[in-house]
Amino acid sequence: MQKEFYSNGKLLLSGEYAVLDGALALAIPTSYGQSLKATPTSAAQLKWVSYDESDQEWFHAEFDIENLGIISSSDPKIAQTLKVLLQQARLDNPLFLSDHDGFLVETHLSFPRSWGLGTSSTLINNLAQWARVDAYELLWKAFGGSGYDIACAQHNSPLTYQLKKGVPHVEEIQFNPYFKDSLFFVHLNQKQSSKDAIEAYRNRSFDKEALVKRISTLTQKMIASPNLSEFEILMEEHETILSEALGIPPVKRSLFLDYPGMIKSLGAWGGDFLMVTGDDNTMAYFHDKGFPTILPYSKMIL
């Protein structure tokens, strides 16, 4: 019997890095995501094919269904990562993959992989649904991370996310600011390694308890912001606090110093999307700078 699953992409609007240590974070599931379809076959293999947003194949592999050994692949590194996930899913549920001789698995992204909206987290959540295992545990055992991206994969509205003694606390919230038409997401045309960024953060020495408190307070204020001006002040404060913690200059200072609106990094600093304030006219600034991928808030949010 064929099975299909779908997971939402993710964006973290506040709390990047600090969420790892228990800060309250604001996140939004995106209108973009990834599906997974598993079809039973008679071959004693797990055949995996991944398609991008244009329905073009970007990865394929074949695994031995018994030991999950890699028979062939278009990318050995990705195949090895997938093998680790499949093995962990089977460890968490020994019955996984045992109900048929083999499977054909097809995944479809609805966003470019370079966007950083959760190619891995949507895969992990889909795989966890199929294997009937805990998606957070699968993420942490295989990759690490805070888990906010799994929360976005599973929920259909803006949410707050917080780790309390290692346990995820997720609350769906009403975050629909009247100034949302002034919020845009600009892609930096770069893909940062979340794993490397997390490791660099972990290796820095500073008062992380104080950082968690400051960022948690900022998150609450951002959610309750009554107007765009206050929201911009909070965006700038968030940038300043994390800049000091990471030892990295804010992206506005390093790349867009003369932009009249406010700019906030999202995710791993130096790549992925920025959240910027402005209007359709001011977005021409980023086009002229060579950053043409710009999505209004209303198009990005689920």
pLDDT digits (tens, 9 = 90+) for 164-193: 999 999 999 999 999 999 999 999 987 656
Q: What pLDDT sits at residue 1? A: 86
**Do 186 and 270 reside in the same domain of the chain?**
yes
Q: Which of 89-93, 120-124, 145-149, 271-275 has the lowest mean pLDDT?
A: 271-275
pLDDT at 105 over 70: yes
pLDDT at 194 over 80: no
Which residue, of 116, 151, 172, is where some domain finishes? 172
- N-to-C CA span, the chain: 30
Q: What pLDDT sits at residue 226? A: 94
Short-list 217, 198, 187, 26, CA closest to 112: 187
**Do 227 and 113 reside in the same domain of the chain?**
no
Range of the domain at 194: 180-299
Which residue, of 172, 199, 226, is where some domain finishes? 172
| Residue 221's CATH number | 3.30.70.890
Q: Which of 76-80, 144-148, 202-206 has the lowest mean pLDDT?
A: 202-206
Q: What pLDDT sits at residue 193? A: 64
* Mean per-residue pLDDT, 92-100: 95
Six-digit token string for 80? 């090895």
Instruction: Give the residue carrying structure tokens 């695994």.
Output: 63
**Do 18 and 134 reside in the same domain of the chain?**
yes
What does the mean pLDDT of the chain come to?
94
Q: How many domains does the chain have?
A: 2
Q: What pLDDT sits at residue 142? A: 87
**Do 70 and 112 reside in the same domain of the chain?**
yes
pLDDT at 271 over 70: no
pLDDT > 70: percent of the chain? 98
**Do 151 and 260 reside in the same domain of the chain?**
no
| Residue 64's CATH number | 3.30.230.10
**Do 150 and 184 reside in the same domain of the chain?**
no
| Residue 201's pLDDT band (cuts 50, 70, 90) | confident
Six-digit token string for 15? 């709390």
Which residue, of 172, 190, 213, is where some domain finishes? 172
**Do 125 and 22 reside in the same domain of the chain?**
yes
Quick one: which H or E segment has residue 64?
A: strand 57-64
